[in-house]
């Protein structure tokens, strides 16, 4: 960009070139000034947003009903669920449900230098685990071969125009079929997986272990809007531990597919493949932490609707909740969500820290750490 002094010289000494050129010069100068003011205004808005205090309400929000659960397509969801149950039965006798698989799954197009250290941390702490890193090609092959009896899943995976939703669905599919640990590539392992919880939990009937990512049920709607929070609470899905064919994971798979079609209908399209744009809220509720949180809480409510976020707010020790045929173990936020500037998450150096998520590949807003 030319310095201001250059424009001043043009205005002062170029009378011979005519008034038309002077007007053009003045117009150009005004455009630059307005451009600089716009940048400054945007920076000020961003700074004030990041520094905005967390405003609390005297009444907490312990329940959330997403638009996709207000009138779900129960018939279609039951059909998908039955297909996945049949798939589980076809593998009967090929796996031991009593043993937690020593597998760690991560997915990425490629691993550049930015994530190499985080990815290596999983092998460093878990040398006896099989570490499987899938790229787009191997992921596509896995879905098409492992779920060929479920063409609905294969079709929706291959035709999703949004890579984030595909990545979300893939982690659920991997955990459903194989079990083990899933972690995003920008997640650091902080200690061996077998030290994350006491041996009594590993030996229990637990089939899903999950951490808390966000725990601000007293946050006002305005505070949530400023931080880009679609809900004031939720479970992490950047790291999940599960046994093969766990029912809560199956529920998540069913709902990702059903919610994708629901979203398409809301936007006047025949199928999810016709949608070119997905908002952050769409991703959150169709395949991300929103649908994952609902799948877990609803699995805990298999007898009656008496489980809400109240059971997990500000917990200090792991909480075990029964499900139909299994159990979900919920870890306090320090285990998976440490380092965030909310939810009493605390710093990275806490002894409870099992993983640390850097959110560098997050589709969420940059203010997620606020």
pLDDT digits (tens, 9 = 90+) for 137-196: 999 999 999 999 888 899 999 998 889 999 999 999 999 999 999 999 999 999 999 999
Give the pLDDT band of residue 112 (cuts 50, 70, 90): confident
Give the pLDDT band of residue 236 (cuts 50, 70, 90): very high
Rounded-to-integer distance, Cα 203 and Cα 201, Å: 5
Give the pLDDT band of residue 5 (cuts 50, 70, 90): very low
pLDDT for residue 26:
52
Q: Token match 């940048």: residue? A: 39
List C-alpha distances in Å: 50 to 53, 280, 334, 370: 8, 19, 22, 6
Burial 322-333 (b: 16+ CB within 10 A, else e): ebeebbbbbbbb
With beta carbons less than 8 A apart as the criterion, state whether 341 and 370 touch: yes
- Check pLDDT > 90 for residue 263: yes
* Spatial CA neighbour of 246 closest among 198, 295, 288: 295
Burial 262-301 (b: 16+ CB within 10 A, else e): bbbeeeeeeebeebeebeeebbbbbbbbbbbbbbbbbbbe
* DSSP alpha helix (H) spans, the chain: 4-13, 19-51, 74-90, 113-125, 136-146, 151-159, 163-177, 199-202, 221-227, 247-266, 280-286, 289-300, 333-336
Q: Give the number of other CB atoms < 10 A from CB of residue 34.
A: 10
């Amino acid at each position: 960009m030319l310095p201001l002094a250059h424009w001043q010289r043009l205005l002062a000494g170029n009378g011979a070139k005519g008034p038309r050129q002077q007007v053009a010069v003045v117009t150009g100068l005004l455009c630059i000034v307005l451009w600089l003011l716009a940048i400054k205004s945007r920076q000020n808005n961003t700074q004030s947003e990041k520094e905005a205090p967390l405003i609390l309400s005297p009444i907490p929000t312990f329940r959330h009903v997403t638009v996709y659960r207000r009138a779900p397509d129960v018939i279609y969801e039951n059909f998908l669920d039955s297909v996945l149950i049949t798939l589980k039965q076809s593998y009967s006798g090929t796996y031991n449900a009593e043993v937690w698989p020593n597998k760690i799954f991560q997915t990425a197009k490629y691993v550049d230098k930015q994530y190499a250290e985080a990815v290596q941390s999983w092998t460093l702490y878990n040398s006896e685990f099989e570490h499987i890193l899938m790229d787009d090609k191997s992921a596509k092959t896995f879905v098409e071969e492992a779920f060929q009896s479920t063409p609905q899943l294969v079709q929706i995976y291959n035709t999703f125009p949004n890579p984030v939703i595909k990545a979300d669905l893939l982690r659920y599919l991997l955990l459903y079929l194989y079990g083990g640990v899933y972690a995003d590539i920008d997640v650091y392992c902080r200690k061996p997986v077998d030290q994350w919880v006491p041996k009594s939990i590993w030996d229990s009937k637990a089939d899903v272990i999950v951490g808390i990512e966000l725990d601000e049920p007293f946050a006002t709607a305005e505070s949530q809007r400023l931080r880009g929070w679609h809900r004031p609470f939720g479970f992490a899905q950047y790291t999940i531990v599960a046994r093969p064919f766990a029912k809560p994971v199956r529920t998540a798979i069913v709902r990702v597919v059903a919610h994708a079609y629901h979203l398409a209908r809301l936007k006047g399209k025949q199928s999810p493949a016709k949608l070119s744009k997905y908002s952050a809220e769409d991703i959150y509720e169709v395949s991300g932490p929103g649908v994952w949180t609902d799948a877990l809480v609803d699995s805990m409510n298999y007898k009656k609707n008496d489980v809400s976020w109240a059971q997990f707010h500000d917990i200090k020790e792991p909480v075990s909740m029964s499900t139909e045929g299994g159990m979900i173990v919920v870890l306090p936020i320090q285990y998976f969500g440490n380092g965030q500037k909310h939810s009493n998450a605390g710093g990275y150096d806490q002894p409870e820290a099992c993983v640390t998520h850097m959110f560098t590949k997050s589709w969420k807003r940059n203010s997620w750490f606020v």
